[in-house]
Chains A and B, each alone.
Chain A
């Protein structure tokens, strides 16, 4: 995972709220067994429309997605993050995110910045007046800057720290190997185990 301090790219104004993960990446793409190469799948349904915002040449190399409230609700599919990332979207700005999506993003190095509704409106207006308008997301300052516009954003401290350090989750946890082993020794014997499989699945 790469360390993040600032990210700059064109504002991609997506004027929708309640964008669920089925819209970000439809279920049919979940059948792939790889971890990369999902750029074609991003917003696949909407991209059939030639006028859809992501089909514009300004955004061919990705950018910073600026979208309405409740982005990434619905299914837990992490492919939603991979599709955004593979398309070249490095950060998403929204007034509110789906919980699982937000968690998945932090772990994959996709920055989700919570920005108030009126700031989103202003950024949309700016990008629509001048497509390709750039924005810089500063993780150190917790701010977004685009021309004259400047807003703070919310992100929890832990996720911010991890993104800045570019830390892999598992390595972080395995530092507590001893505590895990200790905990396992105390696990009550009534708790379930899946092995051995009992008679009835013969």
Chain B
């Protein structure tokens, strides 16, 4: 029987095969580090007198609670400052490369790996952050780990792990204009639920996935964790190779050829069998939006808020009820009638060049809705510079948006970028949990296109609504 992509990458990293239900010992090719989940791990090494095994497979950046304005001033919040200074001390002590605030390569850890060309097909990547699944877009096996596992990888460059089950997510067809990778993944999560992927690696397949750029694939793999999965993967192809080629750490010369030859083998065999399969029709997809407090509580933007009673599962019913209370929304309300206070374009889900370009194309020459706050936070300092080179910063600021420095920002509100209690936000991030973006804040997850259209109209809107609006204006004129 053939093997799936995930099984191939796994098999090539087994250092010691587990017997009798014991986990396999898996080699880790790359560990990404940031200020939040690393201090206790470094502390653990220090306490046990253990060295960092492979500093050449380790890289650090600062992202989770770095400020996105006045980055050259000292960080005001004492705990944030403490985490950053602790990280800097630790990497100096253990000899780890770091990209600190102010450095061109600083940014959200999942943006930094790919942009440096460190993320590549067929490698294993870990980070003390659940959205490490992002790197699976290259055909890497990438997953989030907890702090004690971070310490474990620091000390041994391996992890004891049980093989994951495999699930194929087949997305066939063609996306309509205005529908994006974000809408695919929100639809997947709505379909299988926040626990539906538990124990699985998801492999995204089909013509709609093939047609996506690597950045779009990253958006999809990024949110695999919101379906409960450990990792998401897309088989590498020419699109992947073109994206990697020429990046700082991409293989060169003979190494490049050997690498591509190997990467070509990283396909799920035709006779391989997945433990589960799910299909999504790309032709049918519309811009998607969440209405509740978990990423599975989403519908098409043209729909209405569902009634809790419409859910057959009692857990879903009570979760919906609680969510609607928190979100202050009534069943039957049209999503498009919901007014927001803030639009956030950022996070490791949607803060790459493609996302910023797409949003900028929609708002170019327009003004934001009255009273709305619009924040655009590029994923890395390099993305910010590239966007500025294209004049996107000007497009955003002319529109009335705030153009910030790179970091996680309002994705989790660890820095001052937070929602006020009761504030409602259309956000391109990945989590709409209670209080995620600030205590009492209400989050609707959307694509960058929907975020941009919403910023123009002030109510949840898709690019399609703007066209209708233009038609309307033309008719009336």
Contact = CB atoms under 8 A, between A and B. Distances in A.
Given A33-B39, A193-B56, A23 B434 contact: yes
Contacts of A198: 248-249
Contacts, number: 197
A201 B104 contact: yes
Contact of B48 (A30, A35, A96, A170): A170
Interface string A60-90: 0000000011100111111101000000000
B150 to A, nearest CB: 9
B347 interface: no
A26 interface: yes
A107 B160 CA distance: 11
Contact of B29 (A170, A176, A180, A192): A192
Interface residues of A, number: 61
Contacts of B195: 69-70, 73, 96
Interface string A39-65: 000000100000000000000000000
Contacts of A70: 194-195
B362 interface: no
Contacts of A76: 37, 128-130, 144-146
Contact of A176 (B16, B79, B104, B162): B16
Nearest to B48: A170
Nearest to B127: A76
Interface stretch (B18-26, B169-177, B298-306): B18-26
Contacts of B157: 180, 184
B154 to A, nearest CB: 9
Given A75-B130, A193-B57, A201-B103, A183 B15 contact: yes
Contacts of A26: 435
Given A73-B195, A99-B199, A158-B23, A179 B15 contact: yes
B50 A170 contact: yes
Contacts of B39: 33
Given A18-B319, A100-B144, A194-B59, A173 B156 contact: yes
Given A31-B65, A99-B198, A194-B30, A180 B156 contact: yes
B10 interface: no
Q: How large is the interface on B (under 10, 10 to 19, 20 to 34, 35 or more residues)?
A: 35 or more
Interface stretch (B116-124, B338-346, B387-395, B465-473): B116-124
A104 B129 contact: no
Interface stretch (B66-74, B256-264, B366-374, B397-405): B256-264
A108 B262 CA distance: 38
A170 to B, nearest CB: 5
A189 B149 CA distance: 26
B147 interface: yes
A25 to B, nearest CB: 12
B155 interface: yes
A170 B228 contact: no
Contacts of A45: 434-435, 439
Given A18-B315, A69-B315, 18 more contacts: A22-B431, A27-B412, A31-B79, A31-B80, A31-B82, A76-B145, A96-B198, A100-B146, A107-B149, A158-B21, A173-B25, A174-B155, A179-B16, A187-B27, A189-B258, A190-B256, A192-B119, A192-B123
Interface of A: 17-18, 20, 22-23, 26-28, 30-35, 45, 68-70, 73-79, 81, 96, 98-100, 103-104, 107-108, 156-158, 169-170, 172-174, 176, 179-180, 183-184, 187-195, 197-201
Closest 4 pairs between A and B when the two form their complex, measured CB to CB: A31-B79, A78-B146, A190-B259, A104-B146
